[in-house]
Amino acid sequence: MLIVNLDTLTLGAEADFSVLEQFGTYKSYDLTSPEQTLDRVKDADIILTNKVVLDSTLLAQLPNLKLIVVTATGTNIVDVEYATQRGIPVKNAAGYSTLSVAQHTLTMALTLLSQMPYYDAYAKQGEWSKSACFTHLAKGRRDIDGLAWGIIGFGSIGQRVATLASSFGAQVSYTSTSGKNTNQPYPHCDLDSLLAQSDIISIHAPLTPATKGLIDASKLRLLRDEAILINVGRGGIVDESAVATQLQSGARFSYACDVLEIEPMRKDHAFLDSAIQDRLLLTPHIAYAYRNSLKTLVQMSIDNVVNFIKSGK
Protein backbone atom coordinates (compact mmCIF):
# COMPACT_ATOMS: atom_id res chain seq x y z
CA MET A 1 0.00 0.00 0.00
CA LEU A 2 1.56 3.29 -1.13
CA ILE A 3 0.21 6.38 0.62
CA VAL A 4 1.34 9.74 -0.78
CA ASN A 5 0.78 13.09 0.94
CA LEU A 6 1.41 15.87 -1.58
CA ASP A 7 1.51 19.15 0.36
CA THR A 8 1.89 18.86 4.13
CA LEU A 9 3.38 22.35 4.42
CA THR A 10 -0.13 23.75 3.92
CA LEU A 11 -1.04 22.21 7.29
CA GLY A 12 1.88 23.67 9.22
CA ALA A 13 5.19 22.35 10.48
CA GLU A 14 3.57 20.46 13.35
CA ALA A 15 1.29 18.33 11.17
CA ASP A 16 2.17 14.73 12.00
CA PHE A 17 0.95 11.94 9.72
CA SER A 18 3.59 9.41 10.81
CA VAL A 19 0.94 6.99 12.10
CA LEU A 20 0.19 6.19 8.46
CA GLU A 21 3.55 4.42 8.26
CA GLN A 22 1.84 1.53 10.07
CA PHE A 23 -0.43 0.93 7.09
CA GLY A 24 2.04 0.81 4.21
CA THR A 25 4.73 2.87 2.56
CA TYR A 26 4.10 6.50 3.43
CA LYS A 27 5.68 9.28 1.37
CA SER A 28 5.29 12.92 2.32
CA TYR A 29 6.14 16.11 0.42
CA ASP A 30 6.11 19.69 1.69
CA LEU A 31 4.74 20.99 -1.61
CA THR A 32 4.14 19.51 -5.06
CA SER A 33 4.07 21.44 -8.33
CA PRO A 34 1.82 20.42 -11.25
CA GLU A 35 4.92 19.21 -13.08
CA GLN A 36 5.88 16.94 -10.18
CA THR A 37 2.47 15.47 -9.41
CA LEU A 38 2.29 12.54 -11.82
CA ASP A 39 5.73 11.23 -10.98
CA ARG A 40 4.97 11.31 -7.27
CA VAL A 41 1.55 9.61 -7.42
CA LYS A 42 1.80 7.28 -10.43
CA ASP A 43 1.96 4.16 -8.22
CA ALA A 44 -0.09 5.49 -5.31
CA ASP A 45 -2.96 3.56 -3.72
CA ILE A 46 -4.00 6.53 -1.58
CA ILE A 47 -3.39 10.23 -2.17
CA LEU A 48 -3.74 13.03 0.36
CA THR A 49 -3.91 16.56 -1.05
CA ASN A 50 -4.78 19.98 0.24
CA LYS A 51 -4.32 22.19 -2.82
CA VAL A 52 -2.69 19.98 -5.46
CA VAL A 53 -5.15 19.53 -8.32
CA LEU A 54 -6.19 16.00 -9.29
CA ASP A 55 -8.07 16.35 -12.57
CA SER A 56 -9.40 13.63 -14.83
CA THR A 57 -6.32 13.71 -17.09
CA LEU A 58 -4.10 12.93 -14.12
CA LEU A 59 -6.45 10.43 -12.51
CA ALA A 60 -6.69 8.47 -15.76
CA GLN A 61 -2.98 7.72 -15.42
CA LEU A 62 -3.24 6.23 -11.92
CA PRO A 63 -4.26 2.57 -12.23
CA ASN A 64 -3.62 1.70 -8.57
CA LEU A 65 -5.53 4.57 -7.01
CA LYS A 66 -8.15 3.49 -4.46
CA LEU A 67 -8.79 6.58 -2.32
CA ILE A 68 -8.38 10.36 -2.42
CA VAL A 69 -8.30 12.25 0.86
CA VAL A 70 -8.64 16.02 0.61
CA THR A 71 -7.07 17.57 3.71
CA ALA A 72 -9.61 20.41 3.60
CA THR A 73 -13.37 20.88 3.35
CA GLY A 74 -13.72 21.83 -0.31
CA THR A 75 -13.20 19.11 -2.93
CA ASN A 76 -13.11 21.39 -5.97
CA ILE A 77 -9.44 20.51 -6.63
CA VAL A 78 -10.52 16.95 -7.50
CA ASP A 79 -12.56 15.82 -10.48
CA VAL A 80 -15.03 14.09 -8.18
CA GLU A 81 -17.33 13.01 -11.02
CA TYR A 82 -14.51 11.17 -12.80
CA ALA A 83 -13.27 9.64 -9.54
CA THR A 84 -16.77 8.38 -8.80
CA GLN A 85 -16.99 6.81 -12.25
CA ARG A 86 -13.75 4.99 -11.46
CA GLY A 87 -15.08 3.87 -8.07
CA ILE A 88 -12.53 5.97 -6.19
CA PRO A 89 -13.98 7.52 -3.00
CA VAL A 90 -13.12 11.16 -2.30
CA LYS A 91 -13.06 11.94 1.41
CA ASN A 92 -12.75 15.40 2.95
CA ALA A 93 -12.66 17.00 6.40
CA ALA A 94 -15.95 18.83 6.74
CA GLY A 95 -16.46 21.33 9.54
CA TYR A 96 -12.99 21.25 11.08
CA SER A 97 -12.38 25.01 10.74
CA THR A 98 -15.75 26.45 11.74
CA LEU A 99 -14.53 27.90 15.02
CA SER A 100 -11.25 29.31 13.74
CA VAL A 101 -12.75 30.97 10.66
CA ALA A 102 -15.48 32.51 12.79
CA GLN A 103 -12.87 33.78 15.27
CA HIS A 104 -10.76 35.18 12.43
CA THR A 105 -13.81 36.97 11.03
CA LEU A 106 -14.56 38.60 14.35
CA THR A 107 -10.89 39.53 14.79
CA MET A 108 -10.88 41.29 11.42
CA ALA A 109 -14.01 43.24 12.29
CA LEU A 110 -12.65 44.26 15.70
CA THR A 111 -9.29 45.26 14.22
CA LEU A 112 -10.88 47.61 11.71
CA LEU A 113 -13.45 49.01 14.11
CA SER A 114 -10.76 49.81 16.69
CA GLN A 115 -8.08 50.88 14.16
CA MET A 116 -5.71 48.83 16.30
CA PRO A 117 -2.82 48.77 13.76
CA TYR A 118 -2.79 52.60 13.69
CA TYR A 119 -2.68 52.96 17.48
CA ASP A 120 -0.11 50.19 17.86
CA ALA A 121 2.16 51.95 15.33
CA TYR A 122 1.54 55.33 17.03
CA ALA A 123 2.83 53.99 20.33
CA LYS A 124 5.69 51.87 18.99
CA GLN A 125 7.02 54.60 16.71
CA GLY A 126 7.50 56.87 19.72
CA GLU A 127 4.70 59.30 18.98
CA TRP A 128 2.93 58.63 22.29
CA SER A 129 6.10 59.42 24.22
CA LYS A 130 6.20 62.86 22.56
CA SER A 131 2.61 63.71 23.48
CA ALA A 132 1.62 66.24 26.13
CA CYS A 133 -1.68 64.36 26.56
CA PHE A 134 -2.07 60.97 28.22
CA THR A 135 -4.25 59.73 25.35
CA HIS A 136 -4.49 60.05 21.57
CA LEU A 137 -7.99 60.08 20.11
CA ALA A 138 -7.71 60.04 16.35
CA LYS A 139 -8.97 57.29 14.08
CA GLY A 140 -11.77 54.80 14.47
CA ARG A 141 -12.94 53.27 17.72
CA ARG A 142 -16.43 52.24 16.69
CA ASP A 143 -18.56 49.84 18.74
CA ILE A 144 -20.04 46.65 17.31
CA ASP A 145 -23.01 47.12 19.62
CA GLY A 146 -25.95 48.35 17.56
CA LEU A 147 -24.27 47.92 14.16
CA ALA A 148 -25.96 45.96 11.40
CA TRP A 149 -23.95 42.83 10.50
CA GLY A 150 -24.90 41.12 7.26
CA ILE A 151 -23.74 37.58 6.50
CA ILE A 152 -23.39 36.18 2.97
CA GLY A 153 -23.56 32.39 3.10
CA PHE A 154 -25.24 30.90 6.15
CA GLY A 155 -23.70 27.47 6.61
CA SER A 156 -22.02 26.39 9.84
CA ILE A 157 -19.40 29.16 9.74
CA GLY A 158 -21.91 31.90 8.91
CA GLN A 159 -24.15 30.72 11.73
CA ARG A 160 -21.24 30.71 14.19
CA VAL A 161 -20.33 34.25 13.17
CA ALA A 162 -23.96 35.25 13.71
CA THR A 163 -23.79 33.93 17.28
CA LEU A 164 -20.53 35.78 18.00
CA ALA A 165 -21.69 39.03 16.41
CA SER A 166 -25.00 38.89 18.27
CA SER A 167 -23.17 38.43 21.58
CA PHE A 168 -21.48 41.79 20.94
CA GLY A 169 -24.84 43.44 20.30
CA ALA A 170 -24.77 43.49 16.50
CA GLN A 171 -28.05 43.21 14.61
CA VAL A 172 -27.57 40.21 12.32
CA SER A 173 -29.24 39.50 8.99
CA TYR A 174 -28.16 37.18 6.21
CA THR A 175 -28.59 36.13 2.63
CA SER A 176 -28.39 32.54 1.41
CA THR A 177 -26.25 32.18 -1.71
CA SER A 178 -27.89 28.85 -2.49
CA GLY A 179 -31.37 30.25 -1.94
CA LYS A 180 -32.23 27.22 0.18
CA ASN A 181 -31.11 28.18 3.68
CA THR A 182 -33.92 30.53 4.65
CA ASN A 183 -35.34 28.99 7.82
CA GLN A 184 -33.11 30.64 10.43
CA PRO A 185 -33.72 32.73 13.57
CA TYR A 186 -32.31 35.84 11.84
CA PRO A 187 -33.87 38.07 9.17
CA HIS A 188 -33.22 36.89 5.62
CA CYS A 189 -32.95 39.42 2.81
CA ASP A 190 -31.75 39.69 -0.75
CA LEU A 191 -28.12 40.54 -1.46
CA ASP A 192 -28.64 44.14 -2.54
CA SER A 193 -30.65 44.96 0.57
CA LEU A 194 -28.08 43.31 2.81
CA LEU A 195 -25.20 45.27 1.25
CA ALA A 196 -27.06 48.57 1.45
CA GLN A 197 -28.24 48.25 5.05
CA SER A 198 -25.22 46.62 6.77
CA ASP A 199 -22.30 48.24 8.59
CA ILE A 200 -20.31 45.00 8.53
CA ILE A 201 -20.65 42.32 5.85
CA SER A 202 -18.84 38.99 6.09
CA ILE A 203 -18.67 36.41 3.31
CA HIS A 204 -18.73 32.70 4.17
CA ALA A 205 -19.86 31.20 0.86
CA PRO A 206 -18.13 28.61 -1.33
CA LEU A 207 -16.87 29.54 -4.78
CA THR A 208 -19.44 28.29 -7.28
CA PRO A 209 -20.68 29.52 -10.66
CA ALA A 210 -23.37 31.39 -8.72
CA THR A 211 -20.90 33.16 -6.39
CA LYS A 212 -18.08 33.82 -8.85
CA GLY A 213 -17.77 37.62 -9.07
CA LEU A 214 -20.78 37.99 -6.79
CA ILE A 215 -19.49 41.25 -5.32
CA ASP A 216 -18.59 43.35 -8.35
CA ALA A 217 -18.22 47.10 -8.87
CA SER A 218 -21.97 47.71 -8.90
CA LYS A 219 -22.47 45.82 -5.63
CA LEU A 220 -19.59 47.69 -3.98
CA ARG A 221 -21.29 50.97 -4.77
CA LEU A 222 -24.21 49.88 -2.57
CA LEU A 223 -22.04 49.87 0.55
CA ARG A 224 -22.57 52.44 3.27
CA ASP A 225 -19.85 54.93 4.18
CA GLU A 226 -17.53 53.29 6.74
CA ALA A 227 -18.91 49.84 5.95
CA ILE A 228 -16.56 46.91 6.49
CA LEU A 229 -16.57 44.09 3.93
CA ILE A 230 -14.85 40.86 5.02
CA ASN A 231 -14.12 37.93 2.71
CA VAL A 232 -13.11 34.71 4.42
CA GLY A 233 -14.99 32.58 1.90
CA ARG A 234 -13.08 32.17 -1.33
CA GLY A 235 -11.08 34.40 -3.61
CA GLY A 236 -13.03 35.16 -6.75
CA ILE A 237 -16.27 35.92 -4.93
CA VAL A 238 -15.19 39.55 -4.67
CA ASP A 239 -13.82 41.50 -7.65
CA GLU A 240 -10.47 42.54 -6.16
CA SER A 241 -9.70 44.99 -8.95
CA ALA A 242 -13.01 46.75 -8.38
CA VAL A 243 -12.30 47.00 -4.64
CA ALA A 244 -8.89 48.58 -5.28
CA THR A 245 -10.27 50.96 -7.90
CA GLN A 246 -13.04 52.22 -5.66
CA LEU A 247 -10.72 52.65 -2.68
CA GLN A 248 -8.27 54.53 -4.89
CA SER A 249 -11.16 56.75 -5.97
CA GLY A 250 -12.00 57.69 -2.41
CA ALA A 251 -14.72 55.19 -1.48
CA ARG A 252 -15.15 55.15 2.29
CA PHE A 253 -15.60 51.42 2.97
CA SER A 254 -12.90 49.09 4.30
CA TYR A 255 -12.04 45.67 2.96
CA ALA A 256 -10.61 42.75 4.88
CA CYS A 257 -9.76 39.44 3.26
CA ASP A 258 -8.02 36.19 3.99
CA VAL A 259 -8.40 34.81 0.46
CA LEU A 260 -7.46 35.99 -3.02
CA GLU A 261 -8.43 34.75 -6.45
CA ILE A 262 -4.78 33.86 -7.16
CA GLU A 263 -2.65 32.61 -4.27
CA PRO A 264 0.08 33.35 -3.29
CA MET A 265 -0.57 37.05 -3.82
CA ARG A 266 0.73 38.46 -7.11
CA LYS A 267 3.71 40.80 -6.78
CA ASP A 268 1.84 43.47 -8.75
CA HIS A 269 -1.49 43.11 -6.95
CA ALA A 270 -3.51 46.31 -6.70
CA PHE A 271 -3.91 45.78 -2.95
CA LEU A 272 -0.22 46.64 -2.52
CA ASP A 273 -0.91 50.27 -3.43
CA SER A 274 0.41 52.30 -0.50
CA ALA A 275 -2.36 54.87 -0.93
CA ILE A 276 -5.13 52.47 0.20
CA GLN A 277 -3.48 50.59 3.05
CA ASP A 278 -5.51 52.31 5.76
CA ARG A 279 -8.67 50.83 4.20
CA LEU A 280 -7.31 47.28 3.82
CA LEU A 281 -6.67 44.38 6.17
CA LEU A 282 -5.02 41.36 4.55
CA THR A 283 -4.03 37.96 5.91
CA PRO A 284 -2.43 35.15 3.86
CA HIS A 285 -5.14 32.45 3.89
CA ILE A 286 -4.74 31.51 7.55
CA ALA A 287 -8.31 31.60 8.91
CA TYR A 288 -8.63 27.81 8.67
CA ALA A 289 -5.29 27.19 10.34
CA TYR A 290 -5.62 28.01 14.02
CA ARG A 291 -3.97 25.50 16.33
CA ASN A 292 -6.99 23.44 17.36
CA SER A 293 -8.46 23.45 13.86
CA LEU A 294 -5.23 22.13 12.36
CA LYS A 295 -5.07 19.33 14.92
CA THR A 296 -8.65 18.40 14.10
CA LEU A 297 -7.97 18.53 10.36
CA VAL A 298 -4.93 16.26 10.58
CA GLN A 299 -6.77 13.74 12.74
CA MET A 300 -9.83 13.69 10.46
CA SER A 301 -7.60 13.14 7.44
CA ILE A 302 -5.75 10.30 9.16
CA ASP A 303 -9.07 8.75 10.19
CA ASN A 304 -10.28 8.91 6.59
CA VAL A 305 -7.28 6.87 5.48
CA VAL A 306 -7.32 4.39 8.36
CA ASN A 307 -11.08 3.79 8.21
CA PHE A 308 -10.87 3.11 4.49
CA ILE A 309 -8.02 0.65 4.90
CA LYS A 310 -9.81 -1.18 7.69
CA SER A 311 -13.26 -1.22 6.13
CA GLY A 312 -12.49 -1.04 2.42
CA LYS A 313 -14.86 1.89 1.96
Task: Please list the active-site residues.
Answer: 234, 263, 285
Instruction: Indicate the DSSP class of residue 277.
Output: G
- Asked if 174 and 198 count as a contact pair (C-beta separation under 8 A), the reply is no
- CB environment 117-152: b (16+ within 10 A), e (fewer): eebeebeeeeeeeeeeeeeeeeebebebeebbbbbb
- Asked if 245 and 269 count as a contact pair (C-beta separation under 8 A), the reply is no
d(CA 68, CA 280): 37
Which residues, 6 or more positions from 257, have their beta carbon under 8 angstroms from its beta carbon?
Answer: 230, 231, 232, 235, 238, 281, 282, 283
Strands (E), 157-243: 171-175, 200-203, 228-231
- CB environment 12-21: b (16+ within 10 A), e (fewer): eeebebeebe
Strands (E), the chain: 2-5, 25-28, 46-49, 67-70, 90-91, 148-152, 171-175, 200-203, 228-231, 254-257, 280-282
